């Protein structure tokens, strides 16, 4: 069986799209091959790494990538995970499906280490729920 390719896109490719890529590969890697990119490049946020480690998903080797790296690469599905990415993401004409989920940006969190981690956990859990709904059953795209 050929795995369907999914590209998660957000603004900085530092947290939301990285967590989504990691979770989809971890939980549904038998059916999907996930990637992530951003409209801008930064680095993977350490809080995102910690939040995913808590559920057994290691994204510590991930790197932030610009969406340009995927131009021309056939994807079965493009998933924008923030409104900004949806508005600025170029149209991938070679993607069979486009999905949008708007998740708050945990990298803008402030407070104590524990408070920031709670925000990352909440966003992580929202992303997991979204992925389980969208990709939990075999999709025809």
Contacts of 75 (CB under 8 A, 6+ apart): 5, 6, 7, 35, 92, 94, 95, 96
> Is 84 assigned a catalytic role?
no
Q: Which helix (H) or strand (E) holds 1?
A: none
Choose the catalytic residue: 89, 95, 119, 127: 89
Choose the catalytic residue: 9, 10, 44, 79: 10
Contacts of 128 (CB under 8 A, 6+ apart): 23, 55
Alpha carbons 45 and 74: distance in angstroms, whole number: 27
Choose the catalytic residue: 20, 24, 34, 82: 82
> Is 89 assigned a catalytic role?
yes
> Is 82 assigned a catalytic role?
yes
Q: Which residues does the annotation mark as catalytic?
A: 10, 82, 89
């Amino acid at each position: 069986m050929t795995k369907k390719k999914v590209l998660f896109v957000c603004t900085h490719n530092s947290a939301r799209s990285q967590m989504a890529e990691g979770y989809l590969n971890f939980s549904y890697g038998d059916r999907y091959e996930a990637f992530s990119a951003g409209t801008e490049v930064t680095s993977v946020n350490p809080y995102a790494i910690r939040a995913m480690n808590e559920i057994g998903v290691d994204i510590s080797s991930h790197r932030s990538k610009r969406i340009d790296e995927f131009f021309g690469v056939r994807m079965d599905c493009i998933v924008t995970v923030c409104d900004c990415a949806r508005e600025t993401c170029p149209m991938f004409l070679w993607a069979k499906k486009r999905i949008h989920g708007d998740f708050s940006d945990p990298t803008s969190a402030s407070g104590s280490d524990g408070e920031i981690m709670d925000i990352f956990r909440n966003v992580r859990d929202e992303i997991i729920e979204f992925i389980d709904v969208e990709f939990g059953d075999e999709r025809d795209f």
